[in-house]
Amino acid sequence: MRDFSKDHRWLSLNTATVRKQGDFVQIVDACARMGIRAVSPWRDQVATVGLERAVKAVRDAGLELSGYCRGGMFPSDAAHRQDMRDDNRRAVDEAKALNAPCVVLVVGGLPQYSRPGSAPSKDLGAAHRQVEDGIAEMLEYAKSVNMPLAIEPLHPAYAADRACVNTTKHALDLCDRLDPASSGMLGVALDVYHIWWDPEIHAQIKRTGKKRLLAFHVCDWMVPTKDILNDRGMMGDGAIDIPSLRRAVEAEGFEGYSEIEIFSHDWWSKPMDEVLRTCIERHRTVV
Amino acid sequence: MRDFSKDHRWLSLNTATVRKQGDFVQIVDACARMGIRAVSPWRDQVATVGLERAVKAVRDAGLELSGYCRGGMFPSDAAHRQDMRDDNRRAVDEAKALNAPCVVLVVGGLPQYSRPGSAPSKDLGAAHRQVEDGIAEMLEYAKSVNMPLAIEPLHPAYAADRACVNTTKHALDLCDRLDPASSGMLGVALDVYHIWWDPEIHAQIKRTGKKRLLAFHVCDWMVPTKDILNDRGMMGDGAIDIPSLRRAVEAEGFEGYSEIEIFSHDWWSKPMDEVLRTCIERHRTVV
C-alpha cells in the first residue's frame, strides 16, 4: 500500500465537500494554495461559474481531475426519456472539456425520484432494467469520444431515490454484460461510505481488477448518522476501517487518487481552509 | 397468495409499533378489542409489566405470538461476553414462557455499539465471526428447549451499530453452516424494510424455503427517510412493493403472520386505536 503519511500527492478533493463555502473557482484556488493536486467537480458547481471559466480555472491551477460528478439518473417515464439522454450526453461533453478521467454514474432509483415529474412506480426490477438500458446507450456515446463511465454503487439507503445499484457485485454484473471485453470504457467508482458494510466487498474488489477500478472515494460512516444524505463523516471520525479498503484496491493495482467526498452539514458549516487542512491531515494519518 | 382483503386474520402486531402509547398489557387489550390475533413483543416492554403479567395477558386475550424480539447483540469484548450469553439465554427462556414460535435475532454490529462499554473496534470481519460463534452457542441452548432462532438481516444502514448481517444471503449462509440439516431450529426473519432494495432478494427467498422462513415483517420505506431508525413508514406510504415480497414468501409455502413492525416518531405520536385501525386497513389493502 502506498505511504500517504509524508505528503498528500494522492489526495483529490470532490468539490461537493466544500460546496457551501465557495464557488468552483474559489475551491480550485484554495486547493492550489494548499497543494491539493486534483479535484472532482459536480456539474451544478461547474454550471454556476460556467464551463469555460471552470476549464480555465482548473488549467491555470495545474490541477488534474479524478472524476466528474455526475451522469445517470436513468429511470424515467417515456415523457422524460429524451431529457435524460440529452442531459447525460452533456455530462460526457463537459467531462471531456474538463479533461476528466471518467464520468461517475449515480444511476437513479425509482423514476419519480430519478427524473422528477415521471409517473410514480414501485417496480424496482423495472428500474434495474432501465438503468442497464440507459448505461448501454450512454456508453455508445461515451466510447465515441473516449470518455470512460464509472458506475458508483450507492449505499442501499439510496435505493429508492438516488441509485438502485447498491452493491459492487451488481455494478460489476452490469460491467460484465455491457462491456464484456473490459475495454476500459466502463468500470466502477468505489466509495467506502457505500461499500464498507458489504460482506462480499473484498471478493468483489478482487473481481473488479485494475482496469475497472476507475475511482476510489473516502469519507466515514458516523454513528449515529443524523441525516441519511448529509451527515457523512470526515475520515477517522466514524466506523469504517478505511485502510483495509484502500489496501484492497491497491492490491489490485489501483494507483489513482484517494478522492475525499463528504456531504455534511457539519463540515459545510466550517471555513473552507479548516476543512481542507483537516482533509490533508486525515489523508496522511487514517486513510 | 392469500387474500387479505376480507379480514385481518393474519395480521400480527409487533408491539414496538405502539410502544409510546401504552404498556404491554394495554397493547394486548387493544389488540384483543380490535380482533388482532397475534403480537410480537419486545423484551423491554415485557420487562416493564413483568413476565408473569405478560404471559397472563397474552393467555387471557387468547393471542398467539409471531415472534419474540430480541436476542443477539453478539459482538462484545471479553469482559462483556458472559453478560451477553446470560442475556441471550434469558431471551430464550422468556420466549418459552410466552409460547413464542421463535426468538428474533438482531445480531449486533461493532462491539462498542452491540454491547456498550466494550473496547471499540472497526474490524467488521471480527464482528462477523463473533456473530457466527454467538449464534452457534445460543443455538445449542435454544435447541435444548426447542425454541427456534430467526436471524433478521438488517438494512445495511445498521451495519455499524445494530446488525452486521445485512443481506438475506449472509443470513442463509450462517444457517447453512450452523444448521446444515435444516432442523427447523435456525432460520430467518424477513422484514421488507431491510430486504426490499436487494437485487438478489427473490433468488434468496427461493433459497430460504418454508422451513427456514420463520417470520415475515412489513412496514414501508419513506422517501425521504428523516430518521435512520425511527422513520419507518406505514404500509402503502413508501417505496416498497410489499405484495411482490409477500407473494414471493408465500410461493415458498409461508403461511404465518404478516407482522407489522413500525418504528416511527410520527406513528408513535398518534392514538393507539388510530394506529391499529390504520394497520388493519393497510393490511387489507396494500400488503
pLDDT in tens, A49-85: 999 999 999 999 999 999 999 999 999 999 999 999 9
Quick check: is A164 in a domain? yes
Q: In percent, how much of chain A has pLDDT > 90? A: 100
Domain containing residue A276 = 66-285
pLDDT tens for A84-133 read: 999 999 999 999 999 999 999 999 999 999 999 999 999 999 999 999 99
Quick check: is A21 in a domain? no
Task: Tally C-beta pairs within 8 A across A and B.
Answer: 84
Q: What are phi and psi of A106, to 5 degrees?
A: -100, 110
- Chain A environment of B161 (Cβ under 8 Å): 223-224, 239
Quick check: is A270 in a domain? yes
Return the pLDDT at A115: 98
Contact (CB, 8 A) for B168 and B205: yes
Considering only CB atoms, A161 lies closest to which of B156, B161, B223, namely B223
Quick check: is A82 in a domain? yes
Return the pLDDT at A226: 96
Look-up: residue for cell 457505500? A194
Return the pLDDT at B124: 98
Terminal-residue alpha carbon distance, chain A: 11
Which residue from A90, A95, A130 is spatially nearest to A109, judged by alpha carbons? A130
Strand ranges inside chain A, DSSP E: 11-14, 38-40, 64-65, 68-72, 103-106, 149-151, 186-191, 213-218, 258-260
Split at pLDDT 50, 70, 90, the class of B156 is: very high
Q: In percent, how much of chain B has pLDDT > 70? A: 100
User: Residue A273 belongs to a domain with what CATH number?
Assistant: 3.20.20.150
Which strand (E) or helix (H) includes residue B6? none
Contact (CB, 8 A) for A187 and A211: yes
C-alpha to C-alpha distance for B204 and B212, rounded to whole angstroms: 11
Return the pLDDT at A241: 98
Quick check: is A37 in a domain? no
Quick check: is B5 in a domain? no
Tell me the average pLDDT of chain B: 98
Quick check: is A57 in a domain? no
C-alpha to C-alpha distance for A16 and A272, rounded to whole angstroms: 12
> Three-state DSSP class for A269?
coil
Tell me the average pLDDT of chain A: 98
Nearest CA in chain B to A221: B160
Look-up: residue for cell 406505514? B234
| Torsion on CA atoms A261, A263, A267, A270, rounded to nearest 10 | 90
Q: Model's pTM, two decimal places?
A: 0.97
Cross-chain residue pair B221–A110, CB shorter than 8 Å: no
Split at pLDDT 50, 70, 90, the class of A8 is: very high
C-alpha to C-alpha distance for A94 and A116, rounded to whole angstroms: 23
Quick check: is B88 in a domain? yes
Grid cell of A278 as nine digits:
483537516
The number of folded domains in chain B is 1
Cross-chain residue pair B239–A197, CB shorter than 8 Å: no
Interface-testing mutation among A131, A168, A197, with chain B (most B C-beta atoms within 10 A): A197
Grid cell of A86 as nine digits:
440529452
Which residue from A121, A87, A166, A221 is spatially nearest to B223, judged by alpha carbons? A121
Cis peptide before B180 (omega within 30 of 0): no
Contact (CB, 8 A) for A99 and A65: yes
Nearest CA distance, A31 vs chain B (angstrom): 31
Return the pLDDT at B14: 98
Considering only CB atoms, A110 lies closest to which of B124, B199, B239, namely B239
A151 near B CB under 8 A: no
Nearest CA distance, A128 vs chain B (angstrom): 9
B167 near A CB under 8 A: yes
Considering only CB atoms, A170 lies closest to which of B199, B225, B229, namely B199
Split at pLDDT 50, 70, 90, the class of A164 is: very high
